Structure formats: C-alpha cells, structure tokens
Amino acid sequence: MTSLRSKSVLAAVAAAAAAAAVVAIVVGQSGCGSTCASDCPPSTVYIGNLDSQQLAIDDILVNGPACPSPTGVYCIGDGPGTNCTHFTITGTAQGVCDVLIVFHDRPSMIVRTEFGPPIQKGCCKGYAIVGDAVFVIPGNPDAGITGLDGGTDAVSIVTDAGSDGGAGN
C-alpha cells in the first residue's frame, strides 16, 4: 500500500507541475512577464553628468501637463561619495514638461522635455520621447546643459529677474 500511495502522490505532484507549466506558458505569452517588454522605446529622459561627477543642484522643479509628481523628481548619486549626479523625468501624459534646475554654482537652467503619444509596442508602457532622451550637465560650472549630440535647442538659461535695470541702479 505504501508503494501505491507513493505513486499517487508522485502522480499528483506531476499533474500539478504540468498544470503550473501550462499556466506559466499561457501567462508568459500574453502578459508582461514574458520578454515582450525587452525592446521598448525609451520613455524616461536622463538629465545629469555622464562621468558620475557630483553636481551642485539646489532644487529641481517641474511644470507642464506631462510632468511627473514633483516629489518623484530628485537627484540620485551614482556611487560612493555622490548623492547628486543625475535625475530622470518620465512623462505621465502627452505634452511638455519644463524642468527648472536651480544650481548652486551656475545660473539656473530650464530643460524642455517633450512626450508624444502612448507607446503602442507590445506591452511597453509610457509615452514616447520627442527630441533628446539624454541631457548632459557638465561638471564644469562654466558650461551649459546640452543634448547628448551637443544641441541646446531644448535648454534655456534663466536670467536674473531681480534687477529692474532702472535709472539710479
């Protein structure tokens, strides 16, 4: 009887394993647990230093219909001794997200990020990036932010509005 019971237990385990394998195959083919998300277009813009240099950023503010929550935008360090080498912007809608970066060692700059329609490839999620996906903040405070290709079309420097430029000043 022990041998029949063992065979019954083994048969039940084998049947359960086979059923689990079938479920995994069906779910894997139709859900994002498969590799369908392995070749998605980028939906997150990187803004930071490519050499993992510490940046003197005092604040990051976002404004626009495609912006993530301001609490979700913060500087991240790339390793020991750094706490601010880069940050990312992931669009939450189609449109623009203007990112104001307030520096401690240079003028404030605005980076305009733009997101297109929702990505329609497989089970990929997010909004397609329109324009540059990477903006480089150099370690040198005398240099400005550029796109990865060196372009500056999406970057503007904030001029000091504190001076009224009137007579007697």
Instruction: Report pLDDT digits (tens) over 84-101.
Output: 999 999 999 999 999 999
Please tell me whether residues 123 and 63 are part of one structural domain: yes
Identify the sign of the CA torsion 64, 67, 70, 75.
negative
Please tell me whether residues 57 and 8 are part of one structural domain: no
Domain count of the fold of the chain: 2
Render pLDDT for 15-61 as a digit per residue (tens, 0 to 9). 434 333 333 333 333 445 567 767 899 999 999 999 999 999 999 99
Write the CA distances from 98 to 15, 54, 77, integer angstroms. 56, 23, 22
Please tell me whether residues 11 and 52 are part of one structural domain: no
Please tell me whether residues 103 and 54 are part of one structural domain: yes
For residue 14, give its domain range: 1-30
Render pLDDT for 50-109 as a digit per residue (tens, 0 to 9). 999 999 999 999 999 999 999 999 999 998 899 999 999 999 999 999 999 999 999 999
Residue 128 pLDDT > 60: yes
CA dihedral of residues 14, 19, 24, 27 (deg, nearest 10): 180
